[in-house]
Structure 1
Amino acid sequence: MKETIFVSIASYLDPMLFFTLNDAVAKARHPERLSFAVVDQSVEDQREAIGGLPFAQQVRYVHVHPQDTLGVCWARATAFSLYDGEDYILQIDSHMLFEEDWDQKLLAQHAKLRLRSAKPIVSTYPYRFDFVDGVPQPMKNEGRTALVLRPHPEKNPTQEDAVLRFMARHLFTDEPVLGCHVSAGFLFAGGSFVEEVPYDPYLYFHGEEQSLAVRAFTRGWDIFHPLLIPVYHLYKSEGTAYQTHHWHGENEARRAFRSSYLLERARKRLNRLLMGDGLPGAYGLGSVRTLKQYSEMSGIDYANQRISDPFGGKLC
């Protein structure tokens, strides 16, 4: 059986886009089974350069000028619309480094998780890589811990603002850990995820992963944090303004919808999903499990605006 992978990439003014595409293909055991959905939010249309890639026929490319975009969730929803029935989906950012045979490693992890769940999702925050003298250097992990995603203790959800900040904490384990949160920059699942948990284009940035996690859980999907992550992420410095942030730069002043409006619209939408009527429709809660069941599993109680630790202080 030829297992195909749909690789969803939303890129915003990112000079690393072609590095990511080329590295993914070069390091895959079966590059011919990959299909890329690229939503390129760049000033210049890069269609010609895409056409010059040796794997161009495997790339579905959409160009949007940065002043016409509505944020990362809108772009990722557009990428989802390019899905064409592939067996699996890998959603990543546009500045990633891959290990050799990354595709086979993800497929093998997913196959093992199918023994624990009918609908497993493999997701966590990837380890970082940096360029040292022009050479990408990944931060290797030893596979003795899983990076478990948990809310920062500094903030509980409130009736006015359900948005939480999440962090990755190590848990010593010998198997993937059942989790309650996803990383939008590294998510691997069966391809039906695209149709069952469609990306909400009305969100902006904050709350994106909360929406995905809760909506997936209530539709019967299970999130697992793996021990080994075969992709690496080029992280920005926290607290630094970048032109590659959607809400910074000259394009912001030209948009019909400013970031302040998009942020407020997204905040209200997330509040409605998690502490309101559940946002009926495709972008709302599912009917397989309840938000109360999510609270019991995760310790994140949106209804009562409390957070507890389901790991009993074992995270380090």
Structure 2
Amino acid sequence: MAPPPFKRRRGAPKSSTGGLITTMIALLVGAGFVFLLAIVLLASRLGEVEEGGSTTTTTTTIMEVPGDTTTIMEVPGDLGSKMIGRGDGDGNGDRGGKLRPPSRLSFPHLPPHLMAEEMYGDGIISDLLDGTDPTIAGLVATMQRFLSKLRLFLVASRDAPTPEIVIRGYFDLVDEYLKPLESTYRNKRVFPMREDDSIFMSLGAYRDHLLGETLRQAYGNAHDPDLLFVGAVVQNCFGIETTCRTGVEVKGMDANGNPITKVSDRPPDVNGIEEFCTDPNFSRHCVDGRIRVLYVNETESNGPTTARYLASRLWGGETHYMQSDSHLRFAPDWDRKYKEELRLAKSYPKAVLSTYPTGFKDGDPPYMGGTMSPRLCTCEFSEGGGRHKMLRINTGHDCKGEQDVPTQIAYIAAGFFFVRSEFLVDVPFDPYLPWVFMGEEIALSLRAWTHGWDVYAPRKDWIAHQYRPGKLGLPKFWENTARVFGGRGGFDNELQRVAIERIKHMVGYEGSDMDSLEKLGCDFLLKDLEHYGPGKVRTVRAFLEHTKIDMKTEKCGWIDWCNDCTLP
């Protein structure tokens, strides 16, 4: 279903109805316009431009824009079809060459930074926010509005004296631009949920050179690729008003054996979406509307929690929800196997599959799956700079022997979980967690369990993950944060120190209670926590007992049922 047509601009003249002569003139003018339009469309099909002896096809894209005008855009090759994003977003796209605005469940994935509101008017936002006609285009437009204002805010906050000032200002932006969306769809879905066994894969990709290959692997090895839909938040350095930089690269060792590091200028990042969508083996998935993308400039990126929130808002009614990182390999039939495994869980449909997947390195042979899936059964209160004693999840014992069904584990990994999409209503992603890295997983685990969802380890892995030690020199979002705030060393840690008080309060840390936060002037960090905090099916105290976490001594105990694989 396409967004509704634009209303006539206020003050625009109405068509005349008086007089035979006026009517005849109007008919002649109308006929002439139709004739000219037909010529333009015919030229768009047949037009070819000679360039250096080669022939390049051009596509004329006719787009309706606000103000009762028609904009005709000529773009080379098949880019016109990419911009229009033909297809219903249900995998049954019209590839017969019919050009039209995005359907209800799709928005152009290329080129980057197409502004939805400029293309289709602010009506797509108002129709979304009043609940009358939600579309992916409206969701993208809403998030683009937020990101545009965030960019201006970050420029103005470059020299902000305290992290509290920055985060309070960020919360104000969320209140103005994202909270109306959250309020409209509180405790309900944006789109009807389809029972067609489809999968929505949420990808928060930060300057990831493996994004394109991850998509090729996912679709190339899927049993039902036409039932796989992707919502990608591509956080790249596009070279727009900024010089792209590498991560901290190790260039050698000094005389004392210490690493010599360097950060260098580099070209703009590769766009993995473009790599995938221009691959003739996979481009049909883009044409048919299975790839939904929100592009974010690196300078506006503030960590995985925000990226995962934004990606969750690209969900279009698919049956299953899968959150993963964007540097993966996939085994054959991975999608069918995870769906079958989920249904075997005793708590299904309120069951979550999660693990830290098997690792792979560049040069490894194709991943065929079937390796033992690590079980998330231990935790620790982390020490060291920037960690602030935040609970950190880790693996425990593997099960002995073969199991007939998956068994429960204690925690959810943010880098991979697989669940039915009702999860999004029960445990909506939190828009008030900027600049957070540590703490994402304990918050997700606690919220899911207290809302009545049980967590299971799949018995076997069917995806593999590239784990990335610092020596690889890949860019990290906190390096960008330091640059955004004037190169102040440690300011990224200060932002996280303040932001994670929201999670610490939820879990029950001493010194993070309401009274303590009020004394610090940080009680604003608990905004709307009743919607993004623990559930009411089970208590936080029960979760801490379930996972053997002692908040007084700040110790994690041994979880017998998890490490022994005995809780179905």
TM-score relative to the length of structure 2: 0.50
Query: Which SS does the other structure have where 1:171 is aligned?
Result: coil
- Asked if 1:265 is matched to 2:498, the reply is yes
In the TM superposition, what whole-angstrom CA distance separates every residue of 1:174-207 from its partner, at most 9, and x where no partner exists?
A: 2423112111111000111122212223331100
Aligned partner (choices 457, 472, 476) of residue 225 of structure 1: 457
**Structure 2 unaligned residues grouped into runs of 5+:** 1-194, 239-268, 515-524
Query: Quick one: distance in 1 between partners of 2:220 and 2:333?
Result: 9
Q: What SS does structure 1 have at the residue aligned with 2:335?
A: helix
| Separation in structure 2 between the aligned mates of residue 266 and residue 7 of structure 1, nearest angstrom | 27
Q: Does 1:128 align with 2:355?
A: no
Change in 2 beyond 3 A, CA 1:235/1:295: same
Q: Which residue of the partner structure matches residue 205 of structure 1? A: 437
In structure 1, how many angstroms separate the alpha carbons of the residues matched to 2:357 and 2:197?
Answer: 23
Q: Which one of 312, 318, 332 corresponds to residue 100 of structure 1?
A: 332
Give the match's secondary structure for 2:546.
Answer: helix
- Give the paired residue count: 306
How do 1:49-128 and structure 2 match up within 5 A? Answer: 49=275, 51-52=277-278, 53-56=283-286, 57-113=289-345, 115-128=346-359
**Gap regions ≥5 residues in structure 1:** none
Write the letter of the residue equivalent to 1:38: A
Using the alignment, how far apart are the partners of 2:485 and 2:300 within structure 1? Answer: 6
What per-residue deviation string (whole Å, max 9, x for no partner) do you get for residues 93-143 of structure 1? Answer: 000000000000000001111x344400000100001122xx545496554
Change (3 A) 1:313 1:119: closer
The amino acid across from 1:78 in the alignment is: L
Tell me how far apart the structure 2 counterparts of residues 97 and 122 of structure 1 sit (CA, whole Å): 18
Q: TM-score, normalised by structure 1?
A: 0.87
Superposed counterparts of 1:138-149, under 5 Å: 138=367, 142-143=371-372, 146-149=373-376
Deviates more, 1:16-25 or 1:166-175: 166-175
C-alpha RMSD over aligned residues: 2.9
Q: Is residue 281 of structure 1 aligned with residue 530 of structure 2?
A: yes
* Greater relative CO, 1 or 2 (CA 8 Å, sep 6+): 1
Structure 2 Cα separation of the partners of residues 154 and 295 of structure 1: 14
In 1, Cα distance between equivalents of 2:484 and 2:547: 41
State the 1:55 CA deviation.
1.0
8 A Cα contact 2:355 2:457, kept in partner: yes
User: Shift of the alpha carbon at 1:242?
Assistant: 3.4
CA contact (8 A) 1:169 1:315 kept: no
Q: Residue 164 of structure 1 is aligned with which of 388, 391, 398?
A: 391
Question: 1: distance between equivalents of 2:455 and 2:561?
Answer: 19
Match of 1:297 among 532, 546, 555: 546
By how many angstroms is 1:152 displaced?
4.4
8 Å contact from structure 1 (residues 128, 138) kept in 2:
no
SS of residue paired to 2:445 = helix
Structure (1 or 2) with the greater strand fraction: 1
Q: Which shifted more, 164-173 or 12-21?
A: 164-173
